[in-house]
């Protein structure tokens, strides 16, 4: 039996993941044993379906093996069997907290393949909704961080904001979550009557509410600071080495943002800052997210001030059949760099689609930085990464 022959340390992650939990290992001269604990996949704080195999020494985590794949829905394989425009609704379901960025990345990849020109109004609307989507994702993620620290109220305030943005999305796209709005060559339809004014009004009111409802409630709280400061500390080198992107990278001080460094769409016309922080802990990631919400509000205002007129859909013909070759699109989703690689063999359906979701990459952090922390620190670290089950499993 594996249990008897080998100690806990010698088993590979796969062996442990396959359900053969390691036996307890003796830790010190007092003969104290570690405790193996299985957290998830059904667990209130696991952001969906994540299983963590933990080895605990009292409350301290000695070892943490994340096991992914409980929400695998073969997105990449399904994409190969559908015609190009029909893949967009599939991408919607990858990161279900920030769907619009997922559509955006895929459409950019196919447009790269087709070398299509996008009408400026469509570009502006895409950027507009993308930033709105970022607010819609960042504010609940702050709420989730607090929820996992044990404060129940901020999540409800956060969902009030998300609800209002969803109402606007419903008016624009017809759906509350799975929009299918960004299409290859443009967007589905123009903004409805009065929407720019409504959006302006909303972001103004959000700017006012951001301080009393979120920052004042969260930031000054001693317990919040005690629970998040110096928790989940990552160094710049480590973050770059692991290929992190998005707020987990920017909170260590690396200024990297696809919107600026590999600018796309309407972003080249916008003036915005990339928010960074030095500390590289959970509190810093919270500050980065709040800062990004503010930047998004600024960007939305800029776009609304100079919204170009014209068509919203390029004429690409009824049937999209790109030439042989490959297309690449990358977008900054709320969680980091999202990239799509589409390979075409000249037929109606893509030959291969690969989605590089930020969550999958950022999740490496768990294995790296959780050991040494206390068990309850796993929750704020999850809040730092802010993964989405659908995005890491695809």
Partner 1 sequence: MSLDILNHEPLRFLISFALILFLVLNLAAILTLAERKVSAYIQLRYGPNRVGPRGLLQPAADIFKLFTKENVSPNRADRWIFLAAPIAMFIPAAAVWLVIPFAPEAVVADLNIAIVFFIAITSIGALGVIMAGYGSRSNFSLLGALRGAAQMISYEVPLILSLLGVILLAGSLSLVDIVNAQSGGFWHWYFLPQFPMFVVFYIAGLAEARRVPFDLPEGESEISGGFMVEYSGMTWGLIQASEFASMGLISALHVTLFLGGWQPPVEFLDLGNFDWIWFGLKTALIMFTFQWIRWTVPRLRMDQLMDFGWKILVPICLVWLLVTAGVMLII
| Among the residue ranges 90-98, 247-255, 349-357, 371-379, the one whose residues contact partner 1 (CB under 8 A) | 371-379
CB-CB contact of 296 with 275 (8 Å) = no
Q: Which is nearer to partner 1, 153 or 236 (CB)?
A: 153
CB of 223 to partner 1, least distance (A): 5
Q: Which is nearer to partner 1, 166 or 263 (CB)?
A: 166
Residue 78's H or E segment, with its range, is: helix 75-80
Question: What is residue 106's three-state secondary structure?
Answer: helix
Q: Which is nearer to partner 1, 325 or 376 (CB)?
A: 376
CB of 314 to partner 1, least distance (A): 44
What one-character DSSP code corresponds to residue 338? E
At residue 145's C-alpha, the angle toward residues 139 and 148, to 5°, is: 140
CB-CB contact of 195 with 171 (8 Å) = yes
Question: What is residue 14's three-state secondary structure?
Answer: helix
**Could you tell me the two tokens for 282?**
């959970």
**Could you tell me the two tokens for 217?**
């409630």
Q: How far apart are CA 298 and CA 313, in angstroms?
A: 26
How many chain residues are in contact with partner 1, going by CB under 8 A? 32
| Among the residue ranges 30-38, 66-74, 106-114, 234-242, the one whose residues contact partner 1 (CB under 8 A) | 30-38
13, 26, 37, 83: residue in contact with partner 1 (rule CB under 8 A): 37
4, 29, 31, 44: residue in contact with partner 1 (rule CB under 8 A): 44
CA distances from 250 to 130, 166, 277 (A): 19, 27, 6
Question: What is residue 61's three-state secondary structure?
Answer: strand
Q: Which is nearer to partner 1, 134 or 162 (CB)?
A: 162
CB-CB contact of 331 with 110 (8 Å) = no
CB-CB contact of 95 with 333 (8 Å) = yes
For residue 90, give every residue at least 6 positions away whose Cβ sits within 8 Å of its Cβ, in sequence order, or none: 75, 78, 79, 82
Q: Which is nearer to partner 1, 40 or 280 (CB)?
A: 40
CB of 357 to partner 1, least distance (A): 25
Q: Which positions from 305 to 344 touch partner 1 by CB under 8 A, shown as an x/- string?
A: ----------------------------------------
Q: Which positions from 204 to 243 touch partner 1 by CB under 8 A, shown as an x/- string?
A: -------------x---x-xx-xx----------------
Q: Which of residues 100-159 bind partner 1 (CB under 8 A)?
A: 146-153, 156-157
CB of 177 to partner 1, least distance (A): 22
The number of angstroms, rounded, from the C-alpha of 260 to the middle of its chain's C-alpha atoms is: 18
CB of 148 to partner 1, least distance (A): 5
22 binds partner 1 per the rule CB under 8 A: no
Q: Which is nearer to partner 1, 221 or 364 (CB)?
A: 221
| Among the residue ranges 42-50, 127-135, 237-245, 341-349, the one whose residues contact partner 1 (CB under 8 A) | 42-50
| Among the residue ranges 35-43, 102-110, 117-125, 198-206, the one whose residues contact partner 1 (CB under 8 A) | 35-43
Q: Which of 218, 248, 225 is nearest to 157 (CA)?
A: 218
Q: Which is nearer to partner 1, 203 or 382 (CB)?
A: 382
Q: Which of 177, 162, 139 is nearest to 286 (CA)?
A: 139
Q: Which residues bind partner 1 (CB under 8 A)?
A: 35-38, 43-45, 56, 59, 146-153, 156-157, 160, 217, 221, 223-224, 226-227, 374-379
């Amino acid at each position: 039996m594996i249990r008897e022959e080998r100690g806990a340390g010698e088993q590979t992650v796969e062996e442990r993941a396959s359900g053969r939990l390691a036996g307890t290992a003796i830790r010190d001269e007092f003969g104290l044993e570690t405790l193996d604990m299985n957290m998830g996949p059904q667990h209130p704080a696991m952001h969906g379906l994540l299983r963590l195999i933990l080895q605990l020494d009292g409350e301290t985590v000695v070892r943490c093996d994340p096991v992914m794949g409980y929400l695998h829905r073969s997105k990449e394989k399904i994409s190969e069997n559908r015609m190009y425009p029909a893949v967009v609704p599939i991408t919607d379901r990858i990161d279900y907290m920030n769907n619009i960025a997922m559509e955006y990345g895929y459409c950019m990849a196919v447009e790269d393949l087709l070398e299509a020109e996008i009408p400026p109004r469509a570009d502006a609307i895409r950027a507009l909704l993308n930033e709105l989507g970022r607010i819609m994702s960042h504010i609940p993620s702050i709420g989730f961080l607090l929820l996992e620290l044990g404060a129940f109220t901020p999540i409800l305030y956060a969902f009030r904001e998300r609800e209002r943005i969803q109402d606007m999305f419903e008016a624009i796209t017809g759906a509350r979550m799975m929009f299918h709005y960004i299409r290859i060559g443009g967007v589905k339809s123009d903004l409805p009557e009065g929407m720019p004014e409504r959006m302006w009004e909303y972001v103004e009111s959000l700017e006012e509410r951001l301080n009393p409802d979120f920052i004042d409630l969260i930031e000054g709280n001693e317990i919040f600071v005690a629970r998040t400061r110096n928790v989940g500390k990552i160094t710049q080198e480590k973050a770059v080495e692991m290929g992190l992107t998005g707020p987990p990278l920017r909170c260590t001080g690396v200024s990297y943002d696809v919107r600026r460094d590999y600018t796309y769409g309407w972003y080249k016309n916008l003036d915005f800052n990339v928010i960074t922080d030095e500390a590289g802990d959970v509190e810093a990631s919270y500050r980065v997210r709040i800062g990004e919400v503010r930047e998004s509000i600024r960007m939305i205002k800029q776009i609304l001030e100079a919204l170009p007129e014209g068509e919203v859909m390029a004429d690409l013909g009824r049937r999209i059949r790109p030439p042989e070759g490959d297309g690449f699109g990358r977008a900054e989703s709320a969680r980091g760099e999202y990239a799509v690689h589409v390979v075409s063999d000249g037929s109606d359906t893509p030959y291969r689609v690969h989605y590089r979701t930020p969550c999958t990459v950022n999740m490496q952090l768990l294995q790296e930085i959780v050991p040494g922390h206390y068990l309850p620190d796993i929750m704020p670290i999850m809040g730092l990464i802010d993964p989405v089950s659908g995005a890491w499993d695809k």
